Amino acid sequence: MKRRVAILLVIAALLAVLAFDAAVKGGVFVKIEPHFAGTCESLPLPGSAEDIQIDRAAGFAYLSVLDRRAVLAGQDVHGTILKVDLNVESLGAVAGVANAPPDFRPHGLSLYTTDDGSQQLFAISHPAGKPHTVEIFERGADGLFAHLETLHNPLLVNPNAIVAVGPRQFYVANYSGRPRGMARFFEIYFRRALSEIVYFDGDAMRAVDEPIALGTGIAASADRGRIYVSEASARRLRVYARDSETGDLALVEYVDIKATGDNLNVAEDGGIWIAAHPKPYRLLKHVQDPAIEAPTQILRVAADPQAENRVTEVYLDDGDEISAGTVAAVLGQRLLIGSLTDHKILVCQLP
């Protein structure tokens, strides 16, 4: 009898430790004190812009737009890529693609510009009831991106973010290493490192580096010598050195960001901008119930490891201004913030 009681007490203690750890990592005890030194205005959209890519030379922003609430409700909807001209005073979102697959549901985006000025736009898509794909578009003479090809591969288990390093070469960060069900639940809840970063060299796709704990964002430095990856469950940024000949990645450092990171963008000065979720448990509740707002946090990580104040919190909102922010992209003094669910982006003026 005493042995049984002792075993039950040990089990109860372990469950209590797990519950407390989950509460800490879920941000239950995080206090949100909204702040931003600049100003923001909303730009309405027909869906939410989960990812944003900036064409700095042209002054355009490309948005991955989809009514993700409708998708969660099981509705047969498709999305698109919209373009915002940041050179004009009165901003508006217009078509960025001339055509797209009929079941296009865009997620992560990446824009690649070749030395001769031609451009390819890469988009992860999650068509209903079909394998995940990478869609490649090419900019035409009219400025719109025309669909070139569709790629799919079993290694795209749950692709979340993409970064192009050539006209047909790219890396993808998988959010999860398990397609669905309880296996994915245990992966996420126990923060197991099962998600793979995969590389497509133009002919074949393969995993690079060891599995990570939920890959939610990926970006490259201007010279493509560094690859940055958000490791959401570990609450850190991974920095890799990239071999341009083989595509292999070598881990250089971890940067602790103390939040659940999402999409990444690299600014002109080399700073890495991260949209993050300081309270992931609120994000989960927000996905289930739109009446519950989820905080949005925007961080900037200096590229220089020796920089003072390496990680800076630039923006923090409790979800009133924009809920469940997933991406931050910067052009000059303009900061664009997109969301998982809100049908708008914030166009902010940095101080």
The CATH number linked to 252 is 2.120.10.30
Same domain, 13 and 155: no
Q: Provide the domain count of the chain.
A: 2
Phi, psi of 283 (to 5 degrees): -60, -45
Same domain, 17 and 43: no
| Residue 178: predicted pLDDT | 66
Phi, psi of 343 (to 5 degrees): -85, 65
C-alpha to C-alpha distance for 14 and 10, rounded to whole angstroms: 6
Same domain, 263 and 327: yes
- Residue matched to tokens 């341009």: 244
Same domain, 75 and 197: yes
The burial class, CB within 10 Å (0-12 / 13-18 / 19+), for 167 is middle
Same domain, 12 and 140: no
Same domain, 151 and 114: yes
Same domain, 281 and 140: yes
Taking the whole predicted model, whether its pTM rises above 0.85 is answered as yes
| Residue 7: predicted pLDDT | 55
- Residue matched to tokens 């020796």: 306
Range of the domain at 21: 1-30
Instruction: Give the model confidence (pLDDT) of 236-248 as tens digits.
Output: 999 999 999 999 9
Same domain, 123 and 9: no
Same domain, 17 and 100: no
The residue type found at 192 is R
Same domain, 225 and 194: yes
| Residue 310: predicted pLDDT | 95
Which regions of the chain are under pLDDT 50? 13-20, 22, 24, 29
> HSE-up of 231 (CA within 13 Å, CB side)?
25
Residue 10 neighbours by CB under 8 Å, 6+ apart: none
Same domain, 163 and 311: yes
| Residue 11: predicted pLDDT | 52
Instruction: Give the model confidence (pLDDT) of 2-29 as tens digits.
Output: 666 555 555 554 444 444 354 545 555 4
Same domain, 2 and 81: no
> HSE-up of 67 (CA within 13 Å, CB side)?
9
